[in-house]
Each structure stands twice: as structure tokens, then as C-alpha cells.
Amino acid sequence: MINGIWLGLIVIGFGVAALQGRLDAGTVSFLTESRRAVDLTLALGGTIAVWFGVSRVAQEARILDSVGRRLAPLLRFVFPDLARDHPALTAIALNLAANIFGLGNAATPFGLQAMKELQATNRQPRTATPAMITFLALNSAVLTLVPSGAIALRAATGSSDPAQIVEAVVLTTGLSMAVVLAADRVFRRLAPRDRQP
């Protein structure tokens, strides 16, 4: 799909340019936009590097583990069908903690580990369990307190106050999380129980 979109942008762009007699403008952008892309990457690279530096210090100090431990008891309400000591809960808590603090790169390994632990107690290994679905939905709609990527992009493009969108992100992600958790309850009740093969 991304291939189609990219191709479409270029071909339709040049097509419209030809119709409007602006082919030269199209050619100029095609050849010079790269300069802007490199400039942006340099500015962004600096901000990303600083953030990665701080987040590596946080990882090394095991700060995420402390947050994850505190989050785990809350998860029992969200995953009622998992045993209290299910090994997936720790991985889920660490994944969510990483997402909440904008450490997206640290979140994925925990997420994959959580899926593996959930699959270990799945009696129908080719079918998703309710807990897996809740986890995936929560993973992409969890409350975000530190939108590090957005702040970095704003800093790189010259914002006078890069962090000013934090409150809006907190409210938006809080709303999505609430809606997803409520919808999950409804789906759980409506979904037909799978018969054991």
C-alpha cells in the first residue's frame, strides 16, 4: 500500500504539473527537496540522539522496571482472564511503561516477549486469545505522558515551545485508551466463543 501511495504522489504530481504547465516547478522540487530532507534529518538526529542518550541512562538505571512493577497490579483489572502470576503480565507492564514514557524503541522487545508468554497458555495456538487482543489494542492506544518523537520533531523544525503539545497528547491518548478498553469489553461479550477443536 505504501508503494502505491508513494508512486501515486510522484506520478499524479508530475501529471498535474504537466496539465497546468508547471513541469519545471515539479522538476525543481524533485531535485531539491532532498536538501530539505537532509537538513531536517541533521536537526532531528541531534534531538533524537540526546533523547536516546537519556533513555539509555534510564534503562541502565532500571527505572523502567520500577515503573513496570507498580503498573502490574493495575493490569489485573484489564486482563481478568490471566492468572495473577502469569509471566506475560510483567512483560506487558514493561511494554506499557515504555510507551507511556515515549521510549518506543524499548517497547517492542517487551511486546514480543508478552505475546510469546500469552501464546504459551493459548489452547488454540492459531487463534488470538482475548488477552492478546486487549494487549495489542492497549499497546497502540496507551496513555502517553512523554511524546518524545513529537517533541523532537517540533524542536527540529524550530518551534518556540516544543513541549507545548504535551497536555493535548495526554488528553488524546487518555481518551483513546478509555474508548479502546470500553470497546474491548463489548467485543469480548459479543464475540462468539470458539469451540475447542
Q: According to CB under 8 A, which residues from 86 to 105 bind another protein?
A: 101, 105
d(CA 173, CA 146): 11
Query: Which of 84/193 has CB closer to another protein?
Result: 193
Query: Which of 84/158 has CB closer to another protein?
Result: 158
Which range binds another protein by CB under 8 A, 10-18, 68-76, 79-87?
10-18
- CA-based Rg of the chain, rounded to a whole angstrom? 22
Instruction: Please report, as residue ranges, which positions from 115 to 144 form the binding site for another protein (by CB under 8 A).
Output: 115-116, 118-119, 122, 125-128, 132-133, 136-137, 139-141, 144
Contact, 147 vs 102, CB < 8 A? Answer: yes
d(CA 172, CA 169): 5
Contact, 113 vs 91, CB < 8 A? Answer: yes
Q: Phi-psi bin for 40: left (phi > 0), alpha (psi -120 to 50), beta?
A: alpha
- Out of 77, 160, 196, 197, the only residue in the binding site for another protein (CB under 8 A) is 160
Which range binds another protein by CB under 8 A, 73-81, 83-91, 151-159?
151-159
User: Shortest gap between Cβ of 181 and another protein (angstroms)?
Assistant: 10
